[in-house]
Amino acid sequence: MGPCSSQQRKPGKYLDGGQKPGPNAKPDEFKVGPDIFITLKQGSISNFYKIEKSLGSGAFGEVRLVIHKSSGCRRAMKQIRKDKIIKDDEESMFSEVNTLKELDHPNIVKLHELFQDQKNYYLITEFLEGGELFEKITEMKFFTEKMAADIMKQILGGVVHCHEKKIVHRDLKPENILFENKKPNSNLKIIDFGTSKKVENNQNLTKRLGTPYYIAPEVLKRNYNEKCDVWSCGVILYIMLCGYPPFGGPDQEILQNIEIGKYEFDPEDWCKISDEAKNLIKKMLTKDYTLRISAQEAFNDPWIQKNAPNAPIDFKAINNLSSFFGKNKVRAALMQFISTNLMTNAEKEELLNEFKKIDKDGNGQISKEELLQVYLKQYDEIKAKQMVDDIFDKVDMNKSGFVDFTEFITSAANEEKLLSKQRLQQAFNIFDTNGDGQISKEELQEIMGMDDNIWKEILEMCDSNQDGQISLEEFFEFLLKKYQ
């Protein structure tokens, strides 16, 4: 959940224009997921965020660093002026919001909130302070193939997740790949889904979008699919390994060279680069996209996997999964909100590393088979399968058949730290938008978009004095209680 305004959004509408569940919806229809907390909120954003420095500007407005007043969390605010956008741009913005709501991957930027006032829209995302991909690489004293493979593995993992969700980014470039922090081994994230597109039924796309240097030849011909992202990744990898793009020249000449699809590995610059790396680039920069490898195939390439970090799994975090109780959906949803919005990136870092070790195909979801391979290192097959089934029963809160990234972070976190008194107070303050010391139906309903049955269920579980509201004490008791 995020801070909301005392002015309510139009009732019954989600960002995609769909109707929220009606009053007769059953409580068991409540879907747990981080996307349920992202609604269009109206009013002054300065009531909830302190505006800090500018991070950059574009055609429609600025990106600024902001501080969330209730939690103190730093976030990025993308401001979009309404008088600068046409209807198509507005639809594109909402498409970006709905795309980011659907994506849940450690290498994709997390959307927290969407606001609007009379003059602007405001997209609130996590703040990534590590800088752009090439900017950080140029600051390094040395750069190796192993480092390039680790970076490309992260990028491809995010792309695999997008493609599994039928989403094509269409503008992958170094400026849209940021590091979380300034540490040497920082996690990186793909940003800017303003040109992304969801495709259905294997349809081909026709809109010519992208950036010279990185645009695929089939995009120039206005007939392409998700493999245009693989081409862009191939260009990025090429530049990482030699320092210049495969297709150069002035803009128009670049596009002509891309259409021809011919590039070279100059021996002077590539003599120390392995054949495995060059072979992967060739497969990613195959001009005929029907013959080009997929993002998953690129992720699985021997050069990527051979150079990827291979540290042993730390069972401390993994064992927290077995003690997590997620059958109470409302409690599980609130815990997801706390882990998504109030845990710092530093706190998530260890859990993120363990998640990536288990998620062998990099798609941002842990399958039963992937988790089973972990437990087989500790237990016999019968015991391991029993434990995995039990964990999925509790941790797979949206019943997707996988443990998603947010589900893992929530479940593997130390519950005592996750539900500390300070965090619960911060969460309560965010929900209690008018500051009267009570959470009302209207306050929680605007944040979650829930129906009346869910509210009744919440009251039955935590409104001990039956006054129709939730006090701080009741909120604490509800989240700290172990439901059996």
Characterize the bridge pairing of strands 62-68 and 49-57: antiparallel
Residue 171 bears catalytic tag: yes
Instruction: Cite the annotated binding site by residue number.
Output: 78
DSSP, collapsed to helix, strand or coil, labels residue 441 as: helix
* CA–CA dist 61, 122 (Å, integer): 10
Burial (CB < 10 A; 0-12, 13-18, 19+), residue 10, is exposed
Q: Which of 33, 55, 35 is nearest to 399 (CA)?
A: 33
Token couple for 402: 């996988």
| Annotated active-site residue in 35, 171, 359, 451 | 171
Query: What are the angstrom distances between the C-alpha of 426 and each of 51, 332, 443?
Result: 19, 17, 15
* CA–CA dist 249, 256 (Å, integer): 10
b/e 176-188 (16+ beta carbons within 10 angstroms → b):
bbbbbeeeeebbb
The answer to whether 227 and 288 have CB atoms below 8 angstroms apart is no
Q: Which residue has the tokens 């500790």?
A: 378
Q: Which residue has the tokens 């907390």?
A: 37
* CA–CA dist 11, 114 (Å, integer): 16
Report the C-alpha dihedral over residues 123, 330, 315, 422, rounded to 10 degrees. Answer: 70
Q: What does 287-315 look like in DSSP terms, one character per residue?
A: SSTTTSPPHHHHHT-HHHHHHS--PPP-H
- List of long-range contacts for 131-135, beta carbons under 8 Å, 24+ apart: 131/178, 131/179, 131/182, 132/174, 132/175, 132/177, 132/178, 133/174, 133/175, 133/177, 133/178, 133/179, 133/188, 133/236, 134/174, 134/239, 134/240, 135/174
Instruction: Cite the annotated binding site for ATP by residue number.
Output: 78
Q: Which residue has the tokens 């103190």?
A: 72
Name the residues annotated as catalytic.
171
